[in-house]
Amino acid sequence: MACYVVGHLHANDASAAYAFHHVHAQANQNLRTRSEDEIREIAENGFMYGARKCSGASIVGDPVGGALVGLCYGFLDEMLGVWELGGLCVDEDIDHDVVWVLAGLALATTIVAGQALEAGLSVVANVVVSNQAPLNLLKGMGFKKRGTFERDGRQLEQYEFGIDGLHRLHHWFDRLRTRPSNGATIAVELVLGWTLDDLQSYLPRYGSFESLGEQQSNARERPEPRRSWTAPSALGALGEQLVRALRRLLSW
């Protein structure tokens, strides 16, 4: 049975992340090429996520990740005032469930740690018009087509995460907890000692905002988006601890 570790990548993973990204960007013209400095900055800020095949087990029996087999990131585009979910690429033989966990984890943690919705910022995914591969995944996660634009001489479609997508994200957590026992084993690794329950508890509920437009036009003071991973203040001293990994086995 296949085994994977999906979760945050750290600053010391930046070189491996860039190497993986570069190989896939060279082979897939639909993937936006990021520079090594950009990949490193995203990793250092805590918004780079990866999937690895298990290479062994720790002394407590949790799987230990080996070589990267998948990548995804959240990127704060300060010029446009949006969070972009992008860079999703996986090796060809990877189980589709790994892609689903990787993308869902990236979206949930970007919303929570980046304070995207609280700061009134949209979360978007930009897709080359001719690229149909990620559309079912994006739509299933609650993204809706926003419009088209041109970048570097190419036409792209922009998909925006809608407020009603929060219901889908909470359902994503529920599906993880009620997963079938067969299939690939997937361990989820979060920083700051977080568990999946912690992450979901900080995810806004559907109905917290009437609409993105209402939130963005609200005159009251809004928090600044977080540019690097920071535990919400309610976690108190936990957020000041040294970064440590907590793995939870997920059997599919």
pLDDT tens readout for residues 195-205: 888 888 888 77
Residue 96 binned pLDDT confidence (cut-offs 50, 70, 90): confident
pLDDT at 155 over 50: yes
Contact status, residue 14 vs residue 40, Cβ threshold 8 Å: yes
- The tokens describing 37, both together, are 């400095």
Q: At 194, list the tokens.
A: 């977080």
Give the type of residue at 40.
R
> pLDDT: is 70 or 188 the higher one?
70
**Over the stretch 201-239, which tens digit does the pLDDT of each residue have?**
888 775 554 444 444 444 334 455 555 555 444 333 333
Most confident of 52-56, 118-122, 135-139: 135-139
Which stretch, 57-66, 149-158, 210-219, has highest mean pLDDT?
Answer: 149-158
Residue 135's pLDDT is what?
A: 94
The whole-angstrom separation of Cα 69 and Cα 93 is 9
Considering the entire predicted model, what is its pTM? 0.80
What are the start-end ranges of the E strands in 27-105? 48-57, 63-77, 82-90
Q: Which of 52-66, 216-230, 236-250 has the lowest mean pLDDT?
A: 236-250
* Domain made up of 3-251: CATH architecture: 3-Layer(aba) Sandwich (3.40)
pLDDT of 56: 62
| Per-residue pLDDT, 39 | 95
Helices 165-177 and 96-113: crossing angle in degrees, nearest 10, is 120
185-190/3-8 β-pairing: parallel
Contact 229, 43 (CB under 8 A): no
Which residues pair with residue 84 across a beta bridge? 75, 124
Domain range list for the chain: 3-251
pLDDT at 82: 92
Tokens of 101: 């966990």
* Cβ contact 199:112 at 8 Å: yes
Pairwise CA distance, residues 227 & 115, whole Å: 9
Q: How far is CA 122 from CA 75, 218, 222, in A?
A: 12, 14, 14
- Mean of the per-residue pLDDT values for the chain? 79
Region class of 153: left (phi > 0), else alpha (psi between -120 and 50), else beta: left
Residue 25 or residue 2, greater confidence: 25
Maximum average pLDDT range among 5-14, 29-38, 168-177:
29-38
Q: What is the DSSP letter of 87?
A: E
